[in-house]
Structure 1
């Protein structure tokens, strides 16, 4: 039987519960009809202070107003749940993709799901991230590969996905990358993933297998045997698949090929040059030695070159020499360019060290160039004082774009000419327009650089990386521009793998779980058509535009982006070699043709004339622009450009490498 007199403590508890229910219902449902709020009436019974609750009149009982306090549960008010959203499944998929893209861990995702689940619109959402991210239900065992462990995800799932998307594909070219990865800075744990990439398709690199141990695998055959067996079976069962090449740096290449390293007497894997030890450094002087061949490698002709045999020789129709092109990310950017800058800043040899004034001048110009660096570059130039933290993309940017203009009139003429010979050669080999027609000229420039490097910096400085430059042009003839067989795309994938390992405990198992959660699906680059954004109506305009049109400030395509509001993103080079600065973007409404409004720079001259005219590689100095506005079509654009203001005009560098 309910008490007729309710104590103060109990009535405050009931009021608190009422307030909580009203708050939750207000959040979950549309505002309810106005209700008569219960009033608290103070009564006295024999000198004892008690409380009674009443509504609009004192005669209404507490049970009539608040049926949920009744002992009979059937009297409780029914809460009507809204029907589930038809798009809930797609929202969950988007949420799952978001978690993968931004490396959201399970704890964070679970907390988010619990917040969303409070609202009725998301009541069908799971409360735990493990329910949302269902791991692929396949067994991927972890195997012992001394002195560590190895997990093999396989190549077959990715081949099947490609063939389902492209059933009429006649040939499937595979690139393989093997490289050591440092996951933690505080320990020497060796992590060696095997990555794959399908050439000519818009997919990103994928993980075939991964090894983790206290040091690198003791045996290359134990490390690669599962991958090689699967690869051979796929090649025999599907004539569409073939291995194009292995993209590796020098240490990884010597390991998987079972050959001498880059500091050995017979360390060059392209030719029969024999190194010479000078000042405890291995140097390679000869630039015209006989080239190695696949048959010589398989027959172990040069026994001093081999350390053992390798299971890679079992791959059908694969060349053990030409199938290992030189990766210019490691050899040129992180090797030669970094070596040059270190020689200039550290003073070994001392006569080639730049003065502190020269170093500060270069650093100052690098910092100034940041505001002229287009948005296509994710990293902006940093001063020479931070050279030890530069990434490969920063060395590439210095070699191809900022270096030729910044170093001019700061370093000696001999050093500048030598640097230009390297910059011009690599620019030719990166250019889809020049890498075939000017291949032999690039070879002569690289030979000149190797010989000049020896005379300026000393015989003991002609290392494996310096010597390897003379073999770059042959690989370009075989595979195309340098970016087609570089490690840049794989380096991005390695960075994403590092993020998947969140704690030092069981890193290989963490990687396996994260990849299985993604269902081993191929990721594809975004291939979007041209798009316009930031519409406006302020001009400027030319007087010869016919029809109605819309105005925009930003134009984006697959290869570049034009932004009229940012000076660094407004320059492009037309197919007629005319520099054009965009100040407005129009779209004709009737035809949807995109027109660029801007100023032409038609007076273009050479930035340098030695070792060749800069016009040969489409580098110019532009004078003053035309005074009248002009218009061009987006189809007239050949390259977007990086433009540096100088005392004699503006230095123009087309963006020729692939981002």
Structure 2
């Protein structure tokens, strides 16, 4: 038997005893053939390894007597059959043993793809292979991870490009998530963006990413990657392979298990420089840089400003015909894809436009702007005190905690979003002047409308954004009417086409760019490193349900008496969609479907169903009344907690943040 392939530790006890019996008797036979003399130390060693009370069984001895008769030519046909059956069972491993080996190999392979260096993987493989149980493991990580030996890298646009493929990415996702083909059409979003690899060099990546429009929980996948010391010098070369594959998919569809699935790109998500590059239009700093309307910019104080709010809108037809020659710098290769709509499908997404654009611009104006909008030093200190006070009150869904105003230049997009959408009205009340605070609330309220899934007040959101842009010029000056401020006028129209702002934001693509950057372990030849690791990770795609965090931890406080005839078990955390509800602050405030705001104290069960026990607030009202009552967008002023009540966990509509005004 090959011990390298079938280690002893992986065999059942019955087969292990049989294997030891075979080896001992083989040694005895060899000794008998040599004259019957065996060295005492060898005999003692065999006795230690194969104790007589475990291996010298009658049925086993009978088997070896038959084998001896076979050697002398005296066995019968029936005995020959029995001997061959016994020996074949010994030589063939059990199916469970093979499955256990394959499962272990799968787990260690997946572990090795999670940011572990090649040297460390090789070291652990050598350590494991030193034990006979793991002798079947490969000696090198490249064999373990099925690392490709070659890849198709092309020199284009002043750098190198590797195309991974749209069809390949979709096929991998479908194999893991069959629900993707329940409909006959797969709708995609596409993103183009640049990524600086290091601060000390010009080395940069320009990945092409795609995600599924109707399955937001599935992360984006990589279609192709360009690497160079600058952005691609030729847009046509950069997009050539992508355009060709999209044309084929658009014409023939995606072939999968005999099915033909339609593939369409519903939206292109880019920041302003990337949009100008792939659409081949004027930059956002140009006089005709707006991709949605025909406004002409004005040069004021070393910048191009856009003061008009009612300019004529561009159409997909006028763009394809290049009617406005001042707007175009060339013909976009994307127009070669059938039915590509270059105006409506290039949406203004709010991560760059609003969070990193307008919100940061407002905060800097309040910190260092002109005297008519700048906050006093004592007001800034008071604002910082409030920020520090709420940092410990933020639920775990917020990956970053609030930072003081002096750190605003280092804030990330999620921090600006948190300030604008959630904490801003609470932090700024009584600190900003009345006119500035009302102006900020117009933007805050409009964005909350556009972030809602129903978009029932979309027209009012458009009206508020138009008011905000007009008032912005009065409060902050005409020279501050830059591209980002003007872009607010077109957000509502994009929401009408693509849904709420979160459905076509760049947050998910930026997270993928960060993951790609982490794949570079050595500054030399970053593109092959990334492509090889993406290939290795493709064997372990994430399922949809695996992306939802589930924290189920049974309560350790067993002596507590459960009210309302609850039986248990109790839980300290329980998952709610993409959030987690806890029995302790700051993760225990929820909003019920009935509209009640509840502070949860107990999460338990009865008859297999989950319930929460909590204290509802007696009085709720709006935190602000203008531009509209805040309770319309889920912001309340609550007071006076009542006694405990019982709710089914399914009655929870969502999770809330709880701040104390005192």
Partner of 1:534: 554
Partner of 1:482: 501
CA distance in 2 between partners of 1:562 and 1:494 (Å): 30
* Structure-2 change in CA distance of 1:527 and 1:106 (3 Å): closer
User: 1:323-363 deviations in whole A, cap 9, x for unaligned?
Assistant: 101110000000011111111112x3233222222222222
* Structure-2 change in CA distance of 1:574 and 1:313 (3 Å): same
* Structure-2 change in CA distance of 1:97 and 1:114 (3 Å): same
Partner of 2:140: 128
Q: Could you tell me how far 1:586 is from its partner in structure 2?
A: 1.2
Mean Cα deviation higher: 312-321 or 350-359 = 350-359
Mean Cα deviation higher: 109-118 or 375-384 = 109-118
* 1:341 aligned onto 2:360: no
Q: Could you tell me how far 1:644 is from its partner in structure 2?
A: 0.6
* Structure-2 change in CA distance of 1:301 and 1:171 (3 Å): same
Partner of 1:212: 227
CA distance in 2 between partners of 1:527 and 1:180 (Å): 26
Q: Could you tell me how far 1:474 is from its partner in structure 2?
A: 0.8
- Is the Cα contact below 8 Å between 1:539 and 1:551 reproduced in 2? no
* Structure-2 change in CA distance of 1:78 and 1:133 (3 Å): farther
Could you tell me which of 158, 162, 165 is aligned with 1:147? 158
Partner of 2:184: 170
Which secondary structure state, in structure 2, belongs to the residue aligned with residue 352 of structure 1? coil
Mean Cα deviation higher: 162-171 or 85-94 = 162-171
User: 1:499-556 deviations in whole A, cap 9, x for unaligned?
Assistant: 00111101111112111222477544425597632234344633x437x432222111
- Is the Cα contact below 8 Å between 1:563 and 1:569 reproduced in 2? yes
* Structure-2 change in CA distance of 1:87 and 1:466 (3 Å): same
CA distance in 2 between partners of 1:411 and 1:309 (Å): 47
5+ residue gaps in structure 1? 1-24, 31-62, 69-73, 648-659
CA distance in 2 between partners of 1:641 and 1:572 (Å): 5
Could you tell me which of 315, 324, 327 is aligned with 1:305? 327
Runs of 4+ in 1 over 4 A off after TM superposition: 63-68, 74-80, 82-86, 527-531
* 1:614 aligned onto 2:626: no
Q: Could you tell me how far 1:557 is from its partner in structure 2?
A: 2.9
Partner of 2:35: none
- Is the Cα contact below 8 Å between 1:96 and 1:132 reproduced in 2? yes
Could you tell me which of 155, 167, 182 is aligned with 2:196? 182
TM-score, structure 1 as length reference = 0.82
* Structure-2 change in CA distance of 1:427 and 1:539 (3 Å): farther
* Structure-2 change in CA distance of 1:123 and 1:605 (3 Å): same
Partner of 1:364: 385
- Is the Cα contact below 8 Å between 2:554 and 2:569 reproduced in 1? no
* Structure-2 change in CA distance of 1:169 and 1:119 (3 Å): same
Could you tell me which of 201, 205, 208 is aligned with 1:191? 205
Partner of 2:415: 394
CA distance in 2 between partners of 1:67 and 1:181 (Å): 70
Which secondary structure state, in structure 2, belongs to the residue aligned with residue 550 of structure 1? coil
1:447-462 aligned at under 5 Å gives the runs 447-462=466-481
Partner of 2:296: 274
Partner of 2:129: 117
CA distance in 1 between partners of 2:426 and 2:252 (Å): 54
Mean Cα deviation higher: 396-405 or 88-97 = 88-97
Q: Could you tell me how far 1:146 is from its partner in structure 2?
A: 2.5
CA distance in 1 between partners of 2:195 and 2:371 (Å): 35
- Is the Cα contact below 8 Å between 1:157 and 1:520 reproduced in 2? no
CA distance in 2 between partners of 1:587 and 1:269 (Å): 55
Could you tell me which of 301, 320, 323 is aligned with 2:345? 323
Could you tell me which of 287, 292, 296 is aligned with 2:318? 296
CA distance in 1 between partners of 2:448 and 2:98 (Å): 55
CA distance in 1 between partners of 2:171 and 2:412 (Å): 35
1:479-518 aligned at under 5 Å gives the runs 479-518=498-537
Could you tell me which of 538, 545, 550 is aligned with 2:565? 545
CA distance in 2 between partners of 1:132 and 1:529 (Å): 29
* Structure-2 change in CA distance of 1:235 and 1:363 (3 Å): same
Partner of 1:60: none
Partner of 1:232: 247
* Structure-2 change in CA distance of 1:540 and 1:556 (3 Å): farther
* 1:585 aligned onto 2:596: no
Q: Could you tell me how far 1:120 is from its partner in structure 2?
A: 3.6
TM-score, structure 2 as length reference = 0.82
Partner of 2:428: 407
- Is the Cα contact below 8 Å between 2:169 and 2:223 reproduced in 1? no
How many residues are aligned here? 571
Partner of 2:170: 159
Could you tell me which of 588, 604, 624 is aligned with 2:640? 624
* Structure-2 change in CA distance of 1:354 and 1:264 (3 Å): same
- Is the Cα contact below 8 Å between 1:582 and 1:599 reproduced in 2? yes
* Structure-2 change in CA distance of 1:530 and 1:494 (3 Å): closer
Which secondary structure state, in structure 2, belongs to the residue aligned with residue 373 of structure 1? coil
Q: Could you tell me how far 1:279 is from its partner in structure 2?
A: 0.3
Q: Could you tell me how far 1:570 is from its partner in structure 2?
A: 0.3
User: 1:180-213 deviations in whole A, cap 9, x for unaligned?
Assistant: 0011121121210000111212421011001111
Q: Could you tell me how far 1:302 is from its partner in structure 2?
A: 0.5
CA distance in 2 between partners of 1:117 and 1:336 (Å): 58
CA distance in 1 between partners of 2:533 and 2:356 (Å): 31
CA distance in 2 between partners of 1:67 and 1:115 (Å): 32
CA distance in 2 between partners of 1:377 and 1:576 (Å): 26
Partner of 1:18: none
Which secondary structure state, in structure 1, belongs to the residue aligned with residue 646 of structure 2? strand
* Structure-2 change in CA distance of 1:483 and 1:528 (3 Å): closer
User: 1:307-328 deviations in whole A, cap 9, x for unaligned?
Assistant: 0111111111221100101110
CA distance in 2 between partners of 1:520 and 1:116 (Å): 22
* Structure-2 change in CA distance of 1:283 and 1:76 (3 Å): farther
Partner of 1:245: 267
CA distance in 1 between partners of 2:49 and 2:534 (Å): 45
Which secondary structure state, in structure 1, belongs to the residue aligned with residue 206 of structure 2? strand
Mean Cα deviation higher: 521-530 or 605-614 = 521-530
Q: Could you tell me how far 1:639 is from its partner in structure 2?
A: 1.5
- Is the Cα contact below 8 Å between 2:169 and 2:222 reproduced in 1? no
Which secondary structure state, in structure 1, belongs to the residue aligned with residue 658 of structure 2? strand
* 1:597 aligned onto 2:613: yes
Cα RMSD of the aligned pairs, angstroms, is 2.6
User: 1:83-141 deviations in whole A, cap 9, x for unaligned?
Assistant: 8674122122112212223x11111111222233333433322232122111247x531
5+ residue gaps in structure 2? 1-7, 14-38, 52-90, 254-260
CA distance in 1 between partners of 2:185 and 2:378 (Å): 56
Which secondary structure state, in structure 2, belongs to the residue aligned with residue 364 of structure 1? helix
